[in-house]
Amino acid sequence: MTLAFFCLAGLDLLGLVEQRLTPDERSEFSDWIYDQQIPSSQGGGFRGSPAGGDLPSASKEPAAFDTANLAMTYTALLNLAILRDDFSRLDRQGVLAHVKSLQQPDGSFASAKGQQEYDARFVYCAFAICYMLDDWSPIDVDAALEFLSRSKSYDGAFGQAPTQESQGGSTYCALSALSLSGRLSHLTLEERHAASKWLLSRQIPGSGFNGRIDKPVDTCYSFWCGASAWVLSSHANLDHLSDMVHLLSNQSPIGGISKALGEPPDVMHSYLSMAALSIHAHSIPPERDPSGTKPIDRGCTPVAEEEGSRQREERMRQKLKGYLREIQPDLNLTLESKSHLVAKLWRR
C-alpha cells in the first residue's frame, strides 16, 4: 500500500494521474485498495497487500501477519484521495475503531494488533487518519501529545520514543501531529527555536540533509527535515539552492531519484525528493518571508548568499513550479487531492 502511495503520489505531484492512468485503471486501483479493507467485525482498517491470502471474515480469524496496519490505513486514504474515489465504500467506523484499538496506555500507538512497535511514527499516522476523517473522538489526543513531549530530546528535536536519539523522520512525525491536531501552540517559542536550529543544522553546507548528527546526506531527509521546518515557519532559512541542486543531481539515467550518488533509484526516495522540491518551489523566498522568523545561525555560509545565486535559485524555483504541484507538507498530499478529500470526508 505504501509503495503504491509513493507511485501514485509522484504522479499526483507531477499532475499526471489522469494522463497516465485511464479511468478503468484508476477504478481498478481503487478496487484493489478496498480489497485490503479489513471488515469491522475483524477490527477494521486496511492491510498492506493481499500477500496473506483472502481477507478474514466473520467465520475466519485474521492471521497474525495479515491484520490491518496503521501506516497502511493512512496511505490507503491518501491513495483513494489521489484517485478521486468517492469514499462510498469506506468503512469509516471500522477505520476509527482500528485507530482506537491501537492506542497504548502511555498515549502512543502500535503499528498493528499484537505488534510491539509503539512510537512517533504511528502517533502521526493515527493523527493524520483522524484529521482526514475529521473525527478525533476515538483517541486520547492529550495522552498522545504527552507521549510526544516525553520523546523530545535535550536538543529540541524528537526521537521515536522517550530517551531515544533525535531523528529527522520522528521529528517530522511529532511536529506534523501537533500541526494537524491544531496543537502546535503547545510548543513555546524557545522550543520552536531549538527544534528549528536542530533541523537547519541537519543540512550539510552546500548540499542536502542528513537525519541524525554525523550521518551522511540522504535525499529523503530533504523532505523530513524540510517539511518539519515548514511546519515551524523556518523553511525560509534553509539553503534552498544547495538542496535543490543536491536533489536534482541524484536523478538516475533510468529515471527516478536515489538516496545518494551512486545508489540505485527507488520509489520512496524519488517521491520524497520531488515532495521536497515542491516545498522549495512553492515556498516564499527568504527576502519575502512574512513570518518574521529570525534567521538561525547554522554555522555555514549558504550558497544562496554568493553573487548571482539568488537569481539562479529563483529561476530554478519557477521552473520547478511548472512541473510540481504544491503539497500540504504536514499531511504529505497535494492541495488538489486534499481538497477532494475534504469535500468527501469532512463532516459538515
Q: What is the mean pLDDT of residues 92-109?
A: 97
Q: What is the mean pLDDT of residues 245-265?
A: 96
Distance CA 207, CA 57 (A): 52
Identify the pLDDT of residue 287. 54
pLDDT higher than threshold 70 for residue 300:
no
Identify the pLDDT of residue 291. 43
- Range from 157-166, 170-179, 293-302 carrying the lowest mean pLDDT: 293-302
Segment 231-253, tens digit of pLDDT: 999 999 999 999 999 999 999 99
Q: How does the average pLDDT of the chain come out, rounded?
A: 91
Identify the pLDDT of residue 299. 46
pLDDT higher than threshold 70 for residue 35:
yes
- pTM value is 0.92
DSSP 6-67: HHHHHHHHTT-HHHHS-HHHHHHHHHHHHHTBPPGGGT-SB-S-GGG-SPPBTTBPPPTTSS
Q: Cα(first)–Cα(last) distance of the chain, in Å?
A: 29
pLDDT class of 298 with cuts at 50, 70, 90 = very low
Q: Which amino acid is located at 178 in the chain? A: L
Cβ proximity of 47 and 72 under 8 Å:
yes
Identify the pLDDT of residue 308. 76
Full set of structural domains in the chain with CATH: 188-348 (1.50.10.20)
Given the DSSP bridges, would you call strands 333-334 and 327-328 parallel, antiparallel or unpaired?
antiparallel
Higher pLDDT among residues 288 and 179, named by residue: 179
Q: What is the mean pLDDT of residues 19-41?
A: 96
In Å, how far from its chain's centre is CA 118? 18
Distance CA 304, CA 316 (A): 12
Percentage of the chain surpassing pLDDT 70? 89
pLDDT higher than threshold 80 for residue 315:
yes
Identify the pLDDT of residue 295. 46
C-alpha cell at 44: 477494521
pLDDT class of 60 with cuts at 50, 70, 90 = low
pLDDT higher than threshold 50 for residue 175:
yes
pLDDT higher than threshold 70 for residue 75:
yes
The DSSP 8-state label assigned to residue 215 in this structure reads -
Task: Please give the backbone phi and psi of residue 175, each rounded to the nearest 5 degrees, phi first.
Answer: -65, -40
